[in-house]
Amino acid sequence: MTDTYTKFIRSAPGAFIARRTGLPRPSTLPRRGDRPAPILGPVVVLGESAGADQVARDLLGEGADVRRRFDELRSVGSVIAVLDEISAPADLGRILLPLAGAMRSLAPGARVVTISRPAQGEDPARDAARGGVEGFLRSLAHEMRRGGTANGILVQDGVDLDAPGVTGALRFLLSARSAFVAGQFLTVSSAAGSLTENRDRPLAGRTALVTGAARGIGAAIARTLAADGARLVVLDVPGAGTDLSQLANELRAVPVQLDVTSEGAGERLVSFLRERSLVLDIAVLNAGITRDKLFANMTSDRWDPVLAVNIASQVALTDALIEAGDVLGEQPRVVSLASTSGIAGNRGQTNYAASKAGVIAFVDALAARLESLGGTANAVAPGFIETEMTAKMPALTREVARRLNSLQQGGLPVDVAEAIAFLSSAEAGGIRGGTLRVCGQNMVGK
């Protein structure tokens, strides 16, 4: 959708006015097509541990220009601060403060990533240091400029820093695919997963289902998964049949017209897959609706459909797929669409927020259920994304929502799709039951 303000501010007259008045000046965010290089260099790896040495070696093996200090660097593309062995708060400054003097040297679209361990509630001094990384990282993300982002990776004790999930998360956060992810942490809880040699087509040979695929974010997800090599099964309600057929023809996908809230929808989907000898490796549960109203005016005709589509259908479909036993592949990936409304709440959206908070809890429980299959379940929580739905918001509300994040602009459907593609990959095998916000570090919630 058109962001008229941003277009004006990026013009010469608009930039002059913004400088003089202090108005927000959203930077251009390089995305996959703008910055195909997987890593923006040079890369500076900070840290004193064996894990820091390992990360530096791995990046060198991928052809990155790796340094261990900022000395004589006039421009820095990426910074990785490895804090996996910190044991007291005093350790933070020793590793992190060299970055302070280099902040003005960060290139447009730069990436800063911390790698640390989560607090365990065992050693007060060590946990204080580990907890301090979160406060540092989230604050630094607010200070990044020119389209740069800062994010973190939390690696559970006992998981080495060369585990596939750590390498995969680092690849994603360093790449242009994470353009609208800021101030967030990915938690790697196990050494499961495997690295992808073909980074241009990491989903080659995999079959993916996308619900709510006919338009908007769903269509962007389908296109991104297809670009990454996946074979697509695209599903939407019969009323969206024309758009669904067009998308299926574009992507050479298999279309399914099905109301996910109808009785027996899961069983009908299983039958459809069996009839066509399709086995799903990835299920993206994107179908969703809104029926906004203040709770004082809420009625069952607004409440029930939102809960039915946004969360009850996800439970029913995954139950049917798992219980069928023959329509899910090895190490399946389930990715559900949550929302920042489910994290922080939103006025007039008690029904929507309830459904999306339900999604966040659902994937945590589902991940445990899929673990025996070598599978994962995670969620992506978009913030303000430029879609047909947000284009219908009142102009002032829409404008405020766009600026209410560290990147001072709305995200694009492809930003959500890129996060889902990563969580659908083999490299994300060690990430389970988490929710990744794609919100430009929205000012509400974490």
Q: Is the pLDDT of residue 231 over 80?
A: yes
Q: Is the pLDDT of residue 320 over 80?
A: yes
Q: Which of 136, 352, 362, 384 is catalytic?
A: 352
Residue 6 lies in a domain: no
* Angle made by CA atoms 286, 287, 291, in degrees to the nearest 5: 125
Q: Are 270 and 292 in contact (CB under 8 A)?
A: no
Helices (H) and strands (E) in the chain, counts: 16, 13
Q: What is the pLDDT of residue 2?
A: 61
Q: Is the pLDDT of residue 122 over 80?
A: yes
Query: Range of 111's domain?
Result: 27-188
CATH number at residue 130: 3.40.50.720
Examine the fold and report which residue of 126, 153, 188 is the final residue of a domain before the chain moves on.
Answer: 188
Same domain, 241 and 151: no
Same domain, 167 and 241: no
Q: What is the pLDDT of residue 115?
A: 98
Same domain, 219 and 333: yes
Give me the helices (H) in 62-211, please: 90-100, 124-143, 164-174
- Burial of 240: CB neighbours in 10 Å, binned 0-12, 13-18, 19+: middle
Q: Which of 181, 210, 168, 177 is nearest to 337 (CA)?
A: 210
The pTM assigned to this predicted structure is 0.93
Same domain, 127 and 65: yes
The string of DSSP letters for 181-246 reads --S-EEEE-SS-S---S-TTSTTTT-EEEEES-SSHHHHHHHHHHHHTT-EEEEEE-GGGHHHHHH
The β-bridge relationship of strands 76-82 and 106-116 is parallel
Q: What is the mean pLDDT of residues 98-120?
A: 96
Q: Which residue has the higher pLDDT, 72 or 53?
A: 53
Question: pLDDT, tens digit, for every residue of 382-404?
Answer: 998 988 777 776 777 777 777 88
Q: Is the pLDDT of residue 76 over 80?
A: yes
Residue 431, helix vs strand vs coil: coil
Q: What is the mean pLDDT of residues 120-130?
A: 94
5 as an active site residue: the answer is: no
Domain count within the chain: 2
Same domain, 163 and 270: no
Same domain, 262 and 390: yes
Q: Give the contacts of 156 (CB within 8 A, at least 6 positions apart).
A: 117, 118, 187, 188, 189, 190
Q: Binning pLDDT at 50, 70 and 90, where does residue 171 land?
A: very high
Q: What is the mean pLDDT of residues 249-259?
A: 97
Q: What is the mean pLDDT of residues 267-276?
A: 97
**Tokens coding 94:** 């020793």
Residue 20 lies in a domain: no
Q: Is the pLDDT of residue 411 over 70?
A: yes
Q: Is the pLDDT of residue 43 over 70?
A: yes
